[in-house]
Amino acid sequence: MPVRPTRVAVLGAGSWGTTFSKVLADGGASVMLWARRPELAHEINTGHRNSDYLPGINLPAALRADSRLGAVLEGAELVFVAVPSQTLRANLTAAASSIPSDAIVVSLMKGIEQGTLKRMSEVIGEELGIGGAQIAVASGPNLALEIAKQWPTAAVIASDDLVTAQTVALAATNKYFRSFVNTDVIGTEIGGVLKNIVAVAIGIVDGVGYGENTKASILTRGLAEMTDFAVAYGGRPETLSGLAGLGDLIATSESSLSRNNTAGRLLGQGYSFGDVVATMKQTAEGLASIAPVLELAAARGVSMPIALQVAQVLDGTLDPRDIAPHLTTDDLPQGE
């Protein structure tokens, strides 16, 4: 029987790490949050605010922050990680010696590492030398600011080991946040990575000014693209039609809170990739994972017209007004 953990740590005090810390604290856990900037840790401890990332949100007094990894990780039963995907490996290198050897480590991230093409759970396993029963991932329709306002939602916790997933889900459940469990780590992670890329495409369409038909076509074909890719890498199709696939695809593509959607909208309005990166103050993972995703797709022969056209808009070889990945004909016989 899984037991509810009481001592948890969260690495990364951006919008998601801080919000998830609140979810855990409101679920009854004692939470230590790592903020790499001491002044942010000070603001969280004294003002119970993180004004950079969650303006207007009051944080629970039970949530404590620190910029020292050792102090944050001491005695942690669960360690949640919410840093930008491309910085995970370096952050783990710094944290590894302080992470208790029996802790379960949970990825809250939605990216693929450039160069190695690894999922976040793979990077965690490699860097910390731990196996599947000590690793979990969390994903779902989880726009941070909505959750920080305690608007109700749900998530999926996946681990190779069901008891691990259940243990994490017990900690990550409260009156406004419900965690479901499964054992499909691959499908759950891939859903989170790929919906970001489709959300960029929808943002481009919005920025250009096209309408609901275009968006509905791309969303529907996007789900097929996400599912084909996930299945090619060993994920289960039903995971992609659940919260970690369709659910997150809808939330991210529809919301102006989404950084991926916002980045796409700016591209659609004619801003260059460089301008968009300079404008974004928070992490838009879809922009960094598009190249590794296309490499992985090519390696398994998965057709990804949406991801391909987003990449072409990013590198300036496709005019955003010509975005119409659902009109590409190479997979027409199977398309629906």
Ligand X SMILES: O=C(CO)COP(=O)(O)O
Ligand Y SMILES: NC(=O)C1=CN([C@@H]2O[C@H](COP(=O)(O)OP(=O)(O)OC[C@H]3O[C@@H](n4cnc5c(N)ncnc54)[C@H](OP(=O)(O)O)[C@@H]3O)[C@@H](O)[C@H]2O)C=CC1
Which residues contribute to the site for ligand X (CB under 6 A)?
Answer: 110, 141-143, 196, 199, 248, 251-252, 258-261, 285
- Concerning whether 215 is annotated as a catalytic residue, the answer is no
> Is 91 a residue that touches ligand Y (CB under 6 A)?
yes
Of residues 17 and 207, the one with the C-beta less far from ligand Y: 17
Q: Which of 22, 149, 175, 195 is catalytic?
A: 195
The residue number whose beta carbon is nearest to ligand Y equals 14
Q: Could you give the string, one character per residue 125-164, with x where binding to ligand Y holds by CB under 6 A and - elsewhere? A: -----------------xxx--------------------
Q: Is 12 annotated as a binding residue?
A: yes
Q: What are phi and psi of 14, to 5 degrees?
A: -85, -155
> Is 227 a residue that touches ligand Y (CB under 6 A)?
no
Q: Is 233 annotated as a binding residue?
A: no
Q: Is 236 annotated as a binding residue?
A: no
> Is 111 a residue that touches ligand Y (CB under 6 A)?
yes
Nearest approach in angstroms of CB 165 to ligand X is 18
Read off the DSSP letter of residue 276: H
Structure tokens at 61: 């007094």
In which element (H, E) is residue 203 found? helix 185-208
Q: What are phi and psi of 227, to 5 degrees?
A: -70, -45
Coil/strand/helix, residue 100: coil
Of residues 110 and 118, the one with the C-beta less far from ligand X: 110
Quick one: what does residue 118 bind among ligand X, ligand Y, none, with the CB cut-off 5 to 8 Å set by partner type? none
In which element (H, E) is residue 139 found? strand 135-139
> Which residue, chain included where needed, has tokens 């000014």?
209
Cα distance between residue 90 and residue 300, in whole Å: 29
Contact with ligand Y (CB under 6 A) among 85, 134, 179, 289: 85
DSSP 20-76: HHHHHHHTT-EEEEE-SSHHHHHHHHHHS--TTTSTTPPPPTTEEEES-HHHHHTT-
> Is 109 a residue that touches ligand Y (CB under 6 A)?
yes
Burial group, residue 223, by CB count within 10 angstroms (0-12, 13-18, 19+)? buried
Of residues 41 and 246, the one with the C-beta less far from ligand X: 246
Cα distance between residue 94 and residue 302, in whole Å: 36
Of residues 214 and 252, the one with the C-beta less far from ligand X: 252
Nearest approach in angstroms of CB 197 to ligand Y is 12
Q: Catalytic residue numbers?
A: 195
- Contact residues toward ligand Y (CB under 6 A) are 12-17, 36-37, 53, 82-85, 87, 91, 108-111, 142-144, 282-283, 285
